[in-house]
Structure 1
Amino acid sequence: MNPVTQDKEKITKCFMFSVTAEKKKPTYFTTQLSDYKTGSLIGKSSFASTCVYTGQFRMTNKIVAIKRYNLNNISTEEINLIQREIIMMNQLTNPFIMSSLVSFVAGCEVILILPLMEYGSCSDLIKKHFFSGLPESVIKIVLKDVLKGMEFIHKKGIIHRSVRASHILIGSDGCTRLTGFRYAYCKKSNDNYTNKPRQIFEFPQNSESNLNWVSPEVLKQNMCGYNEKSDIYSLGITVCELANGFPPYINIRSTMMLMDKLNNKIPLIYDSSNINNADDLNEDIIKAFSSSYSNRKFCEHLHSFKNLCCTLNPEERPNEIMLLNHPLLKKSRSRKKPFSELVFPITPIKEEINVKKSQNKKMEREKT
C-alpha cells in the first residue's frame, strides 16, 4: 500500500472516532476550517507536529484556540493517542477539565476547536517570566483546581497518567483546566471508585517525555499494577516543577531516577530552608537560581503537601479529597488579589491580541 493511501486511511479512521465521540448536545461552532480565522502560534509540540493557534470564529467573532494535528508520517500508535485525546475531550464536561468545542478533519489534519485559555499553561508562565518558579499564591490556586479536575476524572474511572505543568492551562480569571488526555487510561464503566480502586497494568504508550512525573508503581511494571493514586504522585512532582521552575530528575539518567523513586528519595522544593543542603542541583542551576531560592521561604504546608503526594506506598498516599482539605489549601479559600496581579507583568493572550489589533489600525490610519 502506498503512503498516500495509508494517510487517507489514517485520516478516515480519526474522522470516524472524532464524530462518534462527539457530545450529543447543540454546538455553535461549525466543522469547516474556513469558518475560522487563524491567528498567532501560541503552542507547539513535536508530537504529530501539533500546533496551537489563537483563532476567531468568523460567524460570531468568538476568540478560540485552534489545535491542529498533522497526520502525515505518524505511526498507528500516535493515531491511537490522538483518538484517545479527542474522545476524552469530547466526553468530559467539567469546569476544571479542558473539553473541545468541536472537532473535525481538514485535509491531512485533525482540528480541535478549544476555549482559549488566555494565560497558556503553567509551563508557559515559567518560561515567560517566573524562571525560578511560580509564587506560592499562584501554586495554591493551581493545585486546588487541578485536584478538583482529578477528582472528577477519577470518579469516571479515568487515570490521567500525564499530570505536569504543561498540561495545566490557565484562563484569564485564574481558573485552571487539566488537559493532555492522550496518555489517559479509562477503566471499565462498571468499576466502582468508592471501593478499592482496580489495579491496571498497561504502561502508557509514547510516554518517554513524561517519565520524570510518572509514579514508582507505574515505572515498576510488575504484577502489583497501579491505580488513580499514581496521578497524585505525579501532582507531587508537578508541585516541585511549579515551585522550582523545572521538574526534578532533569539532569540524571532514567535508571538513577527510578532508583531515587524506589528508594523514596523525595525531590525538594528549594528555598532558604534547604538550598545550602541541596546536593542534587548541578552548577548551571545553582548559578542561575541560587540567589532566588536563598531569598524566598515557602510555607511548611507546601513542603508537607508535596511530601504526602510523593509517598512511596500508594495505599498510604492521600486521595484528592484528603488533599483538598490539607491546611495548604484550606487557608486559601478566598483570593485577596485578582489573578492578573499575582502573575504581573504577564498579560493574557486576548489582551495581546487586542493590543496588536490597535497597533495595526493605528498603522493603517498613519498610512492613509
Structure 2
Amino acid sequence: MFNPDINDYQLTSIITECCGGVAVVYSALYKPTNQNVALKRYFVDKTKEKAALIQQDIMTRKELQHQNILPYLTSFVNGRELYVVSPLMTFGSCRDILDRYFHEGLPELACAIILRDILLALQYLHKQLFIHRSVRASHVLVGADGLSRLSGLRSAASLAVRGRRARLHRLPPPDHDNANLMWLSPELLEQNLRGYDERSDIYSLGVVCCELGNGAVPFAEVATTLMLTEKVRGSTPQLLDCSTFPTFPEPCLPLHDAEMKSMYNTDSGVGDSADGVSRLRHVYATRKLSDSFHHLSEVALHRDPEKRPTATQLLNHAFFKQIRKTDYLPGLIGRVKPIKPDPNDMSALLLQQKMSDMEIKKTTEWDF
C-alpha cells in the first residue's frame, strides 16, 4: 500500500511533460519504503475539461491488474493539483526511446519482445471486454525488469452494455491535437452503423509495428483529412526495408550480423540535416527485415477487421518464435540511458518546498 499523502514523497527529478502540457511526470522517493516511483502531477486549472478522462484512466487502472498494464498505486489531491502514483518505468516510453536513441527503428528482436508484451496486455484487456483505443509507442513504457507495460487507459471503453457484449459506435475522447488519429482503425474513423470492436486495437498494434520498426510515426507528415481518406480507402503504413523502399539506387542485399550490430549500437545522430536524412534512407534501403515481421504488420493492418487475427492468435505468430527466455530487452537497447533520480535536482527541490507550503484540500472535482 502507498499512502495518499504528499509528505511521504520526495521529488527527485523531472522526467517529462505530457498530456498536452497539462501534466508533468516526476521521479520521486516513497519515503516509508525508500522506493523510487513516478508521480504524475496534473494542473487542475488546466484539466477541468479533461477531468472525466483522468478519472477514467484511474478507475480503469484500479479495475485491471496485469503485469503488462501500468499499475495504479494511489492518487491524492494537494492544494489545486492532482497526483497519481505509479511504478517508475526506468527507460521511459518507446516513443522517447525512438526519438532519442533509435531514429531508424529498434532492432527486430527488441520489437518482437515489446510487441509480445503489448499483445499480452491486449489479450487481457479484450478478455475483460475492454478496448484500449489508444495503442501507440508513447503509451508503452519500459521498466528496468525488461517488461513493457501499456498505459494511456483514459481512452479505454467497455464492450459490456447492459450485461451483454456489444460493438461501439462512438469515437474515443479526443487526445490533444488529435494526435491519436494516426493509430486509429478505418472502421473506428468511419463511424458507420457497423461500429467497431476490439480488433480496432489490433489495427493500432499494426501501426505500432511500423512505428517501432521504422522509428517514425506513420502518417505524421500527412494532412489529417488526407490521412483519414487514405485509411478508409485501405492505404496502410509499411515496414521500411529494401523490399518496400525501392527508391535508393543500391542493390537489395541483407546486412551481415556485424553490420547490423554496428548500425544499432552507435549513436543515431540523424537530426534534420540532408546528410542525416540521406543516412536514414540508406539504413532503410539496405536492411532486410524478416518476412514474418512484414506478415505480422500486414495481417494486423488488414482493412477488413473480420480478417484481422485476435491478440491470442497473434501471440502464436511465427514472428515471436525468435524470442528466447534469456533475451533481455534492456540489453538489446543498451545505448538507452535509464532514468536516474537526482535528489539534488533544484527544480524538483523548489517544487517540493512549494508543495509542502500548500494546504492539502480535497476538491469535489476529483472524486475517487
Work out which of the residue numbers 207, 224, 237 in structure 1 matches 2:207.
237
1:276-355 equivalent positions in 2, closer than 5 A:
276-277=246-247, 286-287=277-278, 289-336=280-327, 338-349=328-339, 352-353=340-341
Identify the residue that residue 181 of structure 2 maps to in structure 1: 211
- Whether 1:99 aligns to 2:67 is no
Q: What residue ranges of structure 1 are gaps of 5+ in the alignment?
A: 1-26, 361-368
Measured after TM superposition, the shift of residue 259 of structure 1 is: 2.1
Listed one character per residue, the Cα deviations across residues 244-298 of structure 1 (whole Å, up to 9, x for unaligned) are: 11111111111211222122222111112222259xxx99785351022123211
Give, in whole Å, the separation in 2 of the partners of 1:137 and 1:189: 39
Measured after TM superposition, the shift of residue 39 of structure 1 is: 1.6
| RCO comparison, higher one (Cα < 8 Å, 6+) | 2
Report if the CA contact (8 A) 2:22-2:47 is conserved: no
Give, in whole Å, the separation in 1 of the partners of 2:38 and 2:329: 21
Cα distance change, pair 252–187 in 1 and its aligned pair in 2 (3 A): same
Give, in whole Å, the separation in 1 of the partners of 2:61 and 2:159: 16
1:1-368 equivalent positions in 2, closer than 5 A:
27=1, 29-47=2-20, 49-76=22-49, 78-188=50-160, 198-207=166-175, 208-277=178-247, 286-287=277-278, 289-336=280-327, 338-349=328-339, 352-353=340-341
Report if the CA contact (8 A) 1:121-1:165 is conserved: yes
Give aligned pairs, total.
320
Report if the CA contact (8 A) 1:241-1:248 is conserved: yes
Q: What residue ranges of structure 2 are gaps of 5+ in the alignment?
A: 249-271, 347-368
Name the SS of the counterpart of 1:275 in structure 2: coil
Identify the residue that residue 349 of structure 2 maps to in structure 1: none
Give, in whole Å, the separation in 2 of the partners of 1:32 and 1:173: 27
What's the TM-score, normalizing by structure 1? 0.82
Listed one character per residue, the Cα deviations across residues 98-118 of structure 1 (whole Å, up to 9, x for unaligned) are: 121111111111111101111
Cα distance change, pair 218–324 in 1 and its aligned pair in 2 (3 A): same
Give, in whole Å, the separation in 2 of the partners of 1:276 and 1:171: 37
Give, in whole Å, the separation in 2 of the partners of 1:358 and 1:64: 17
Measured after TM superposition, the shift of residue 138 of structure 1 is: 0.6
Measured after TM superposition, the shift of residue 184 of structure 1 is: 0.9
What's the TM-score, normalizing by structure 2? 0.82
Cα distance change, pair 57–259 in 1 and its aligned pair in 2 (3 A): same
Name the SS of the counterpart of 1:276 in structure 2: coil
Cα distance change, pair 321–191 in 1 and its aligned pair in 2 (3 A): farther
Report if the CA contact (8 A) 2:116-2:320 is conserved: yes
Name the SS of the counterpart of 2:246 in structure 1: helix
Report if the CA contact (8 A) 2:43-2:81 is conserved: yes
One-letter code aligned to 1:33: I
One-letter code aligned to 1:347: K
Measured after TM superposition, the shift of residue 321 of structure 1 is: 0.8
